[in-house]
Amino acid sequence: MALTKAKAAFTLHPYDHDASAQAYGEEAADALGVPYERIFKTLVAEVESGLAVAVVPVAGKLDLKALASALGSKRAAMAEAAKVERVTGYVVGGISPLGQRKQLPTVVDSSALDFATIYFSAGRRGLQIETAPDNLITLTRAITAPIGRRG
């Protein structure tokens, strides 16, 4: 695991995933008793240069225009699920920003910096990682930008 290799402090938080759940991030927040603002979802979008990763709080939505702007692109659109799974190596609902098959440009919503630690998928439904936002930003070579908007 990238965090272990980097000797970064983190905690794994397993929870019982409900196969009928549609909102995976909200399910994780409710199961772990964590505010929605501290659980971040990993989304993959298409920009002019290819695929890019957006990490935003489950409390809101991804602002595609802001993501495009942060990456110096004119537009962004959500990528097709099958393509995302093929490129990242993860299934939708369990996509981690870490350990993807290919390093994609990554933007973490700047609200992550408001917290000592944040949570995000560990690569499967039912498992979250808690770590300092700086660890995630460093390991994904991410930039931060205000790409999330309130739901």
pLDDT in tens, 104-148: 999 999 999 999 999 999 999 899 999 999 999 999 999 999 999
Boundaries of domain holding 41: 2-147
- Strands (E) in the chain, as ranges, are 10-14, 39-47, 50-57, 60-62, 76-78, 106-109, 118-124, 127-131, 143-145, 148-150
pTM across the whole model: 0.95
What does residue 144 show for φ and ψ, rounded to 5 degrees?
-110, 145
> Residue 34 sits in a domain of what CATH number?
3.90.960.10
Query: What tokens appear for 89 in the block?
Result: 């190596």
Instruction: Please tell me which residue, 92 or 145, carries the higher pLDDT value.
Output: 145
Q: How many domains does the chain have?
A: 1
pLDDT per residue over 13-46, tens digit each? 999 988 888 888 899 999 999 999 999 999 999 9
Cα–Cα distance for residue pair 96/94, rounded to 1 Å: 6
Residue 133, Cβ neighbours under 10 Å: how many? Answer: 23
For 48-78, what is each residue's pLDDT tens digit?
Answer: 999 999 999 999 999 999 999 999 999 999 9
